[in-house]
Structure 1
Amino acid sequence: MAKLKSNDVTIDYNIYGKGSVNLLFVHGSYIDQTYWTEQVKYFENDYSIITLDLAGHGKSGRERKNWSIERFADDVVNLIKELDLKNVILVGHSLGSDVNLIAASKFPEPIIGFVIVDNFKNAATPLPAEFENQVDTILENLKKDFAGTNEQYARMALLTEKSSPEITNKIVAAYRNTYEPMGQATMPEVFELYKTEKRLLPDLNLKIYLVNVNYMPTNEQALKDHAPHGFELKEIDGTCHFPMLENPEILNESLSVVFQEILGDITNLD
């Protein structure tokens, strides 16, 4: 375990393995770096792996006064700079992929690969009008009952009736127990991230690799419209938003193929 001071808080991170290629795994909302445990075990013999807890998550600090998703991205950039990382493949789950998109736009030089785990299913696309009232209701309910509204959101959007009790209980607990000041500040931004994607995706000078779970379909047309350097989608079976918990072996196999494809397109590594 190591620590980095970034934007007023301490960021907890870990480094595993050794290699000329650095896999930087960034978790999603309200969870932490331990969700990548099976990926660390699988890849640490071939790559250098870095995981971190985003500010306000896991063992990282909570002292930040002004919370934002962009600050999360700044923390990722600061970690890359602190460790002087080269040949970085960014792997982001859920919100972590948007964090990585912002980070890659701010500091593109060391980034050689951009991988998404179960996100960008409607990239750069606003929610349909019929769901706007639901968003307003969620945000209002968060102010009244933060833990209960988070649980309802997780059950509605991230889990299904077919999700195992073990995974359901783990995710519900994480969402109920998240740090409220951080969550209240960042959740409204989550529903507006399509604007960030629309603005930044055209400038991402990398092919996008997605490993998405088929419990919810991926809008490939949106990716065709907004990813000028192309994309490759690998869909895996599952009942929820957390393949690292539900199908870690299949996720690892899919990621392994993705990493090999990324490196196959690169002739020289520093």
Structure 2
Amino acid sequence: MEKYTISSDGQKIHYQESGSGNTTIIFIHGWLGNTEWWADQQEYFKNGYHIIQMDLAGHGKSDSSRQEWISSRYADDIKAVADAVNSQKIILVGHSMSGAYVLEASLQIPQVKALVLIDTLKNLDESFTEEQAEQIMFTHYRNDFKYAVEHFLPQYLFAEKTPDKVKSRLQHEFLQNEPEKAINVLRPLYTTDFRKIAEQVRIPVIAINSDASPTDLEANRKYLKDYDYTTITEVGHYPMLEKPEEFNSILDGVLKKLTSAGNA
């Protein structure tokens, strides 16, 4: 069922609601993503969980007129949806840039009992500054966004075995955005020190990370008190799209571990 709620700055936030269960899973996409990135997970988990797929502001069917693109606004988007669904047991699943925002949102939503991070925040001691992001990425996007999407980004986002249909789909979706908008919606990731936020998180955090780049367990445990991760192999940055069946099996195990431990 398609629904909308209003974020703290008046943005209309789109989400889809389905399934049934005592625990609500809220799936939040990464940069330039949308609710449909989680279609396979919705189908797989709907019989055991209350499923929410949401579009952050600037993405999908949510409003894009936000004036202040900062991390706390994204956290407010997530909180607005969590408040709207009125569940007492929530697990937030955040992919890519949204991994940072679910950390922040969890501090505002007491009903959130655990977090699942998807291929993100692999080493909290390594983070880009806004200046580095400007130099390495944003300049490319402004100069020739189509070229950046088709030739620059693939080396970071895709693996050797990423299916061509996944690459084509994502590149097509990315290119529906104007370069400046693509930069604005990503910029908050590089203007916030998420280590300070991570230090305040007291709930369990489990990551499902691609083997395309390493995860530094010790570095992350300096900030997140209850952090662990598992690896999915031979995928790029989009494991839920690249290997949905294997990803669902891994996520199923993660959710069962979190719920059986009494966290949700």
TM-score normalised over the length of structure 1: 0.88
CA distance in 2, matches of 1:200, 1:153: 31
Residue 262 of structure 1 and its aligned partner are, at CA, apart by: 1.0
Partners of 2:143 and 2:101 in 1: CA distance: 27
Which segments of structure 1 move beyond 6 Å, counting only runs of 4 or more?
none
Q: Percent identity?
A: 25
Aligned to 1:4: 5
How far is 1:14 from its partner? 0.8
Is the 2:159–2:234 Cα contact (8 Å) retained in structure 1? no
Residue 182 (structure 1) shift: 3.3
Q: How many residues align?
A: 261
**Aligned ranges for residues 96-245 of structure 1 at < 5 Å?**
96-107=98-109, 109-127=110-128, 136-192=135-191, 195-196=193-194, 198-228=195-225, 230-245=226-241
CA drift at 1:179: 4.6
Match of residue 264 from structure 1: 260
Name the Cα RMSD after superposition: 2.2
For 1:218 and 1:93, the matched residues in 2 are separated by 15
Moved more, 239-248 or 147-156: 147-156
| Distance in structure 1 (CA, Å) of the matches to 2:200 and 2:224 | 9
> Given that residues 117 and 212 in structure 1 are in contact (C-alpha distance below 8 angstroms), is that contact kept between their aligned partners in structure 2?
yes
Question: Would you say the 8 A contact 2:133–2:190 is kept in 1?
Answer: no
Deviation string, structure 1 residues 134-168 (Cα, Å, up to 9, x no partner):
75142223333334334444312111344221111
Unaligned runs of 5+ in 1: none
- Asked if structure 2 preserves the Cα contact closer than 8 Å seen for 1:154 and 1:175, the reply is no
Q: Which residue of 2 aligns with 1:65?
A: 67
In structure 2, give the amino acid aligned to 1:117: I
The one-character-per-residue Cα deviations of 1:85-112 (angstroms, maximum 9, x if unpaired) are: 21000111111211111111222x1011
Structure 1 match to 2:246: 250
Q: What amino acid maps onto 2:41 in structure 1?
A: Q
Which stretches in structure 2 are left out of the alignment for 5+ residues? none
- Check the 8 A contact 1:238/1:246 in 2, yes or no: no
Q: Describe the superposition over 1:182-238 as per-residue Cα deviations: whole angstroms up to 9, x where unpaired.
A: 322233333445x22x1111110112101111122212221122222x222110112
| Alignment check: 8 A CA contact 2:159 2:235 kept | yes
1:133–1:207 distance in 2 versus 1, CA, 3 Å = closer
1:28-81 deviation per Cα after TM superposition (whole angstroms, max 9, x unaligned): 111111010111111110110111111111111222222233212111101111
Question: Any idea what SS the aligned residue of 1:203 has?
Answer: coil
Change (3 A) 1:262 1:133: closer
CA contact (8 A) 1:89 1:111 kept: yes
- The 2-side partners of 1:70 and 1:151 are apart by 31
- State the partner residue of 2:87: 85
Q: TM-score, normalised by structure 2?
A: 0.90
SS of aligned partner of 2:6: strand
Given residue 209 of structure 2, which amino acid in structure 1 is its aligned partner?
N
